[in-house]
């Protein structure tokens, strides 16, 4: 029999979040039996995403329910969020009682700033994996990496893989497979180049030069500029 008990799933929202980091796993996890999804931010004001539109949180930090599953997405706004004490305290406070603590993409660095990745195996977007030791984590290649109750996933689309993996852990493979089928997650991309291991070198080099060299340097500066923030 399927377990129908309620599972509170709380997503952190912050300005500059990559919307698919949030919306992809939220779409899958919301279909899990008993799921109750919330999006928490510092206020109830609309959150500007990196895609030109905003997302409205369901809760502020004070009113957010205690998460059974805490999910921290990434985005170019992570560099600023790393220095926001209220955001880091919210993550640490929620993680202390959550059954699962998870991240998508560069959201891993927010977990790390909250002191949650020390000594853990983890992953993040390929352009930032070299920075994981700055938060005490050991990089393990993979779209989804589990280390105890901590589940991290790679860049952007990896959030769907993480969500389905966790659904299978909680509700069984048949439930996860049904959700995968319902959302028709059947990847057949037009190019076999979604990771530097498979993308043409010229494409990877060009993208790094245009976007990720500067973005990773900015992330590194943010990580080195502040100490780990934890609850008193």
Q: Would you say 18 and 73 are in contact if contact means Cβ atoms under 8 Å apart?
A: yes
> For residue 89, how far is the Cα from the chain centroid?
17
Region class of 103: left (phi > 0), else alpha (psi between -120 and 50), else beta = beta
CA 105/CA 54 separation, integer angstroms: 19
Residue 133: which residues within 8 A CB-CB, separation 6 or more?
139
How much is the CA Rg of the chain, to the nearest whole Å? 17
CA 188/CA 171 separation, integer angstroms: 27
CA 29/CA 123 separation, integer angstroms: 20
CA 85/CA 229 separation, integer angstroms: 7
71 is catalytic: no
Q: Would you say 10 and 65 are in contact if contact means Cβ atoms under 8 Å apart?
A: yes
CA 44/CA 159 separation, integer angstroms: 24
CA 230/CA 30 separation, integer angstroms: 30
Active-site residue, selected from the candidate residues 20, 105, 175, 222: 105
Q: Would you say 71 and 18 are in contact if contact means Cβ atoms under 8 Å apart?
A: no
Which residues are part of the catalytic machinery? 105
């Amino acid at each position: 029999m399927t377990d129908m008990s309620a599972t509170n799933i709380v997503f952190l929202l912050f300005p500059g979040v990559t919307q698919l980091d949030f919306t992809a796993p939220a779409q899958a996890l919301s279909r899990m039996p008993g799921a109750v999804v919330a999006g928490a931010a510092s206020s109830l004001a609309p959150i500007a995403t990196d895609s030109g539109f905003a997302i409205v949180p369901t809760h502020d930090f004070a009113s957010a329910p205690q998460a059974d599953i805490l999910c921290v997405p990434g985005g170019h706004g992570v560099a600023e969020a790393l220095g926001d004490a209220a955001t880091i305290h919210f993550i640490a406070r929620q993680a202390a009682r959550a059954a699962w603590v998870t991240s998508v993409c560069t959201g891993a660095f927010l977990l790390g700033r909250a002191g949650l990745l020390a000594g853990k195996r983890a992953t993040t977007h390929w352009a930032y994996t070299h920075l994981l030791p700055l938060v005490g984590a050991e990089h393990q290649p993979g779209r989804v990496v589990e280390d105890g109750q901590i589940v991290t996933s790679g860049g952007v689309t990896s959030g769907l893989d993480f969500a389905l993996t966790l659904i299978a852990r909680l509700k069984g493979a048949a439930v996860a497979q049904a959700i995968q089928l319902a959302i028709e997650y059947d990847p057949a991309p037009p190019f076999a180049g979604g990771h530097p291991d498979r993308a043409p070198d010229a494409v990877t080099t060009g993208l790094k030069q245009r976007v990720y060299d500067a973005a990773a340097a900015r992330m590194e500066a943010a990580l080195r500029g502040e100490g780990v923030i934890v609850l008193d």
